[in-house]
Structure 1
Amino acid sequence: MSSKVTTAVEELVIPILTNMQLELVDVEFKKEGKNWFLRVYIDSEKGVDIEDCGTVSERLSELLDEKDPITQAYFLEVSSPGAERPLKKESDIEKAVGKNIYVTLYEPIQGEKTHEGKLVSFVENQLTIATKQKTRLVEVVIPYEKVASARLAVVF
């Protein structure tokens, strides 16, 4: 059910975001405790502010009331994905080249199911990450199809 809801919400929100020159990062519809939450994460090259989130929330709320794709009561939240933004699509990975990322894998590569480091390249469905192992930098090549999840990583 939640995938039907997220697909319906994506179809409603994308024209709003396109008009505002924003991009859709993710849509989540999940139950937490006894409440359902519809979370829409948006971003842009310049970032998003509270006004962007408010405008998208108002416009999307009107469409959701009109089209009514969700049967139960829920809370709508529109926000930025934050500093550790998820990288959901190949285009997200391409934009992250040169940045630090954290990747979890379906199966181990070089004995590890997680890798964190600078994304050196994303070519022919292969991520190359420069990761620190003890005192040296090592490049790890990861086939995209083995990536379970990826996100930007904040380095302190």
Structure 2
Amino acid sequence: MISVTEKVTQLVQPILHGHDFYLVDLEYVKEAGSWYLRLYIDKPGGIDIEECAVVSQELSDQLDVQDPEVIPNAYFLEVSSPGAERPLKTQQDLQAAVNQYIHVSLYQKLEGNKVFEGTLLAYDDDQLTLEIKIKSQTKKLIIPRRQIAAIRLAIEF
């Protein structure tokens, strides 16, 4: 049986493609007794609220004509931008983030820390290379991918 998120992804991809947007993330979750279908969309240069509203309406129209079994519970549909500190989940996300400032959380400590922020210099299937600042010094840090719990864009202060 196809999951709710897989079915919604199939429905929304043509809509997004038609507007030159892309799907960053999609979740179907229960919070405080209510179900939420959340889509995070983006495009080069960022997405605005009107564009989110267009996708929300078009997807809502598509969902209304689907078999009720696709989404078995009443839900709230939310379509939004992933924000300035968006998660980086795919190879495409990482490629777009090269030379940008990112936040990396680890499962276990590396060099005494579980969290690093720095400029993403490179990545491959096995590791990320970050340029981090320690006081007034910069250092290249290699982080094994298997140790990474989460990666997101970050705002440098």
User: What residue ranges of structure 1 are gaps of 5+ in the alignment?
Assistant: none
TM-score of the superposed pair, with normalisation by structure 2: 0.90
Aligned to 2:122: 121
Any idea what SS the aligned residue of 1:12 has?
Answer: helix
Letter in 1 for 2:127: Q
- Within-5 A mapping of 1:44-123: 44-67=43-66, 68=68, 69-123=70-124
Structure 1 residue 145: deviation in Å?
3.1
Question: How high is the sequence identity, in percent, across the aligned residues?
Answer: 47
CA displacement, residues 64-103 of structure 1 (integer Å, 9 cap, x when unaligned):
1222411111100101001001101111011101110001
Q: What SS does the aligned partner of 2:5 have?
A: helix
CA RMSD in angstroms, aligned pairs only: 1.8
- Corresponding residue of 2:26: 27
Matched position secondary structure for 1:81:
coil
Question: Residue 3 of structure 2 aligns to a residue in which SS?
Answer: helix
Cross-structure match for 2:36: 37
* Structure 1 residue 13: Cα displacement: 0.8
TM-score by length of 1: 0.91
Q: CA deviation at 1:124?
A: 5.3
Say whether residues 1:150 and 2:151 are aligned partners.
Answer: yes
Structure 2: unaligned runs, 5 residues or longer: none
